[in-house]
């Protein structure tokens, strides 16, 4: 059987840091609340597009695999904060990379987009449809955040990372997947203002309003990730003792701890980045994977569990068996252009465009879906 080995990896984190103290300059919040409820101390705000973040991370992953951009036949772009819907974002990454032979696909399952993309691209390689795939997890949430809402504004950040998958006869890569969706709870997380349901109804840039039932999402996230992890381990015939590393979606430290406890995996085996990057949605798992590799925590043959959940509410858990190589074959000289503003300056700029329209638009936005069963506000 053909396997899909992970042979390259690379991250691209925007340099500007938004601290909890920065957030408390314009929100009724404080460092104590944010760190005790979420584990987050800071997050990044991007000065470039999501496609640029994605392209730089992909270039680094391709160099790490010792490949040329022309070797890539598939780009899978996982994320939900795309700059545009048409044209898609993967085509923008293809252009920025110069990877002209690559099919270019966007995949949006919110925070699980990278993991769903990894599962899908692995299956395409296993079927023979693709030989060299790049899977990118990338988000630019700062641009569609409702910065007046402390319930959500403190939780998210920007970032990107990518992996390269290659057809291989060696066993390894994604060896188990469990994908699911708790659609009954899809109304617990909605970003009003994004999508065709709003376009043409007078809703303009910056009019984002988040419906966000944090405690309900919390409970369902733990349940979804725990059940998916149980299932994927059971089906692969492995137990928690066999897991070398757990690389979960990073939405809240307390969620990570609950999922690890349920699975019977000690926290020493869990990669945690939420304290410094917050929730980067689709980018959290690949960024954590890259950091684990850079810190030497991934060993040849490591068995990894990757649980995730996101809007939808989609959930999943993947089992990945790492190959023999844990060091890069090459490096890329692709860099982001320098940021000229601080994170707080960038956020204040976005806030100034959102106000004064955003909050007063709620009444206008709700009727958009009034004659539709799906998405009724």
Of 109 and 120, which has the nearer Cβ to ligand ACO?
109
Give me the residue whose beta carbon is nearest to ligand ACO: 214
Q: Do strands 159-168 and 173-181 pair parallel, antiparallel, or not at all (unpaired)?
A: unpaired
Of 94 and 112, which has the nearer Cβ to ligand ACO?
112
Which range binds ligand ACO by CB under 6 A, 12-20, 214-222, 286-294, 339-347? 214-222
Active site residue 88: no
- Say whether residue 108 binds ligand ACO (CB under 6 A): no
Pattern 21-50, ligand ACO, x by CB under 6 A: --------x---xx--xx------------
Active site residue 181: no
Shortest Cβ 330–ligand ACO spacing (Å): 33
Window 62 to 101, contacts with ligand ACO (CB under 6 A): none
Q: Longest C-alpha distance within the chain, in Å?
A: 58
Q: 79 with 283: CB under 8 angstroms?
A: yes
Q: 105 with 90: CB under 8 angstroms?
A: yes
Of 6 and 289, which has the nearer Cβ to ligand ACO?
289
Q: 94 with 88: CB under 8 angstroms?
A: no
Q: How far apart are CA 369 and CA 195, in angstroms?
A: 12
Shortest Cβ 113–ligand ACO spacing (Å): 10
- Say whether residue 311 binds ligand ACO (CB under 6 A): yes
Bond prior to 330 in cis (omega within 30° of 0):
no
- 10 Å Cβ neighbour count for 197? 17
Q: How far apart are CA 343 and CA 345, in angstroms?
A: 5
C-alpha distances (whole Å) from 7 to each of 10, 28, 66, 219, 301 are: 11, 45, 9, 35, 13
Shortest Cβ 155–ligand ACO spacing (Å): 6
Active site residue 111: yes
- Say whether residue 151 binds ligand ACO (CB under 6 A): yes
Q: Which of 36, 23, 79, 32 is nearest to 55 (CA)?
A: 79
| Residue in 111, 246, 252, 316 annotated catalytic | 111
Instruction: Say how many residues touch ligand ACO, by CB under 6 A.
Output: 23
Of 82 and 252, which has the nearer Cβ to ligand ACO?
252
Pattern 131-150, ligand ACO, x by CB under 6 A: -------------------x
Q: Is the dihedral of CA 232, 172, 273, 117 positive or negative?
A: negative
Of 64 and 115, which has the nearer Cβ to ligand ACO?
115
Opening angle at CA 208, ends 206 and 209, nearest 5? 150
Q: Find the binder of ligand ACO among 111, 119, 163, 344 (CB under 6 A).
A: 111
Residues in contact with 173: Cβ distance below 8 Å, sequence separation at least 6, in sequence order: 3, 4, 5, 6, 122, 125, 165, 320, 321, 323
Q: What is the distance in angstroms between the CA of the first residue and the CA of the last residue of the chain?
A: 48
Q: Give the footprint of ligand ACO on this chain (CB under 6 A).
A: 29, 33-34, 37-38, 110-111, 150-151, 154-155, 189, 214-215, 217-218, 221, 251-252, 279, 281, 310-311
Residues with catalytic annotation? 111, 249, 279
């Amino acid at each position: 059987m053909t396997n899909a080995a992970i042979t390259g990896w690379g991250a691209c984190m925007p340099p500007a840091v938004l601290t909890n103290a920065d957030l408390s300059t314009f929100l009724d919040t404080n460092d104590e609340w944010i760190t005790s409820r979420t584990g987050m101390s800071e997050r990044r705000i991007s000065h470039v597009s999501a496609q640029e973040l994605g392209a730089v991370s992909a270039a680094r992953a391709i160099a790490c695999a010792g490949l040329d951009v022309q070797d890539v036949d598939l780009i899978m772009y996982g994320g939900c904060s795309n700059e545009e819907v048409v044209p898609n974002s993967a085509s923008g990454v293809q252009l920025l990379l110069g990877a002209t032979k690559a099919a270019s696909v966007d995949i949006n399952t919110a925070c699980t987009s990278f993991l769903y993309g990894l599962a899908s691209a692995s299956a395409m390689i296993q079927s023979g449809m693709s030989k060299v795939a790049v899977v990118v997890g990338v988000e630019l949430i700062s641009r569609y955040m409702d910065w007046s809402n402390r319930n959500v504004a403190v939780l998210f950040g920007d970032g990107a990372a990518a992996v390269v998958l290659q057809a291989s006869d060696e066993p390894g890569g994604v060896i188990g997947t469990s994908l699911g969706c708790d659609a009954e709870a899809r109304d617990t997380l909605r970003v009003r203002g994004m999508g065709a349901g709003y376009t043409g109804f007078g809703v303009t840039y910056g009019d984002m309003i988040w419906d966000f039932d944090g405690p309900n999402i919390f409970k369902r996230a733990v349940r979804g990730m725990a059940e998916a992890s149980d299932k994927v381990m059971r089906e692969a015939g492995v137990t928690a003792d066999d897991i070398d590393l757990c690389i979960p979606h990073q939405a809240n430290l307390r969620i990570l701890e609950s999922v690890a406890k349920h699975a019977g995996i000690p926290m020493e085996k869990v990669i945690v980045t939420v304290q410094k990057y917050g929730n980067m949605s689709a980018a959290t798992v690949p960024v954590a994977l890259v950091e684990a590799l850079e810190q030497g925590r991934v060993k040849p043959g490591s068995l990894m569990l990757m649980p995730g959940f996101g809007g939808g509410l989609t959930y999943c858990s993947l089992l990945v068996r790492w190959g023999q190589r844990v060091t890069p074959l090459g490096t890329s000289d692709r860099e982001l252009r320098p940021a000229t503003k601080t994170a707080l300056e960038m956020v204040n700029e976005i806030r100034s465009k959102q106000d004064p329209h955003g909050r007063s638009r709620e009444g206008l936005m709700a009727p958009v879906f009034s004659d539709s069963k799906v998405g009724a506000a």
